[in-house]
């Protein structure tokens, strides 16, 4: 069951999706038992940062009953936050400006450079980078895949409909959503300043 507009509705995966998800999870667990790799992972994702962030109030109701509407964020004043992090903390993040988007160049120039600067012993300790991200279009675009192959980074397989193994979604962004509730920004600079402050407030135990 998943919640949509205050209602619980049935959501069923296709059999092939269930089998793919199960197989992938089994393989990842077997790999962890052979040689722990979870602490080698660099994970990344994107989140929209809205200028107007009214606190959302969920309305719980039984199927067939009308839910109470709540205020929504103004999507017209939004910037895309790209962030990559590991167990030690944030490696690189960027609040994109208008008309900017995630690209293979950001993986190669910004993330790769930040890894060398912030984790100088990373390659010696862990070997090649193990990257975890979901199947969103920017992550599977040909330029991005080409750059990752050139960098010789391993990309962990991510079965569809698996938000529970995308830690940015259920941990990092969930915490950020609570912090940004009721915040109102008037400019890109104000939004960026809030993001900088929020990330700086998190120590290693959070990650």
| 172, 83 Cβ separation under 8 angstroms | yes
Specify the pLDDT at position 193.
95
Specify the pLDDT at position 68.
55
Specify the pLDDT at position 8.
73
Within a domain: 207: no
Count of domains for the chain? 1
Please state the rounded mean pLDDT for residues 173-202. Answer: 93
More confident site: 77 or 35: 35
More confident site: 89 or 170: 89
Within a domain: 28: yes
Residue 189: pLDDT above 90? yes
Within a domain: 109: yes
Residue carrying the six token digits 């070997």? 127
Q: Is the pTM of this model over 0.95?
A: no
Specify the pLDDT at position 93.
93
Within a domain: 25: yes
Within a domain: 35: yes
Specify the pLDDT at position 13.
82
pLDDT band at residue 85 under the 50/70/90 scheme: very high
Q: How far apart are CA 43 and CA 148, in angstroms?
A: 14
Within a domain: 205: no
- At 58-72, the pLDDT tens digits run 555 556 655 555 555
Specify the pLDDT at position 117.
87
Within a domain: 206: no
- At 98-120, the pLDDT tens digits run 777 776 677 767 888 888 888 87
pLDDT band at residue 124 under the 50/70/90 scheme: low
Please state the rounded mean pLDDT for residues 7-29. Answer: 85
Domain residues for the domain of 69 are 2-200
Within a domain: 161: yes
Q: Using alpha carbons, select from 67, 28, 18 the residue that is nearest to residue 166.
A: 28
Q: Average pLDDT over the chain, rounded to whole?
A: 82
Output the domain CATH number for residue 94. 3.30.420.10
Specify the pLDDT at position 123.
63
Q: How far apart are CA 143 and CA 130, in angstroms?
A: 19
Q: Using alpha carbons, select from 174, 164, 170, 165 the residue that is nearest to residue 198.
A: 174
| 91, 115 Cβ separation under 8 angstroms | yes
CA angle 187–75–97, rounded 5-degree value: 45
């Amino acid at each position: 069951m998943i919640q949509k507009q205050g209602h619980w509705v049935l959501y069923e995966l296709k059999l092939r999706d269930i089998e793919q998800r199960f197989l992938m999870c089994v393989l990842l667990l077997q790999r962890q038992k052979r040689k722990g790799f979870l602490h080698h992972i660099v994970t990344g994702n994107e989140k929209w940062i809205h200028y107007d962030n009214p606190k959302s109030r969920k309305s719980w109701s039984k199927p067939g009953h009308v839910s109470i509407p709540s205020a929504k964020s103004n999507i017209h004043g939004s910037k895309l936050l790209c962030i990559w992090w590991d167990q030690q903390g944030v490696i690189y993040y960027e609040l994109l400006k208008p008309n900017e988007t995630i690209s293979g160049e950001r993986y190669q120039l910004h993330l790769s450079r930040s890894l060398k600067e912030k984790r100088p012993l990373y390659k010696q300790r862990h070997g090649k980078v193990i990257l975890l991200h979901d199947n969103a279009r920017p992550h599977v675009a040909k330029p991005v895949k080409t750059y990752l192959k050139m960098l010789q980074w391993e990309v962990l397989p991510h079965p569809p409909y698996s938000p529970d193994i995308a830690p940015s979604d259920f941990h990092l962004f969930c915490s950020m959503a609570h912090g940004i509730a009721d915040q109102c920004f008037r400019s890109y600079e104000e939004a960026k300043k809030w993001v900088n402050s929020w990330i700086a407030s998190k120590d290693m135990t959070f990650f």
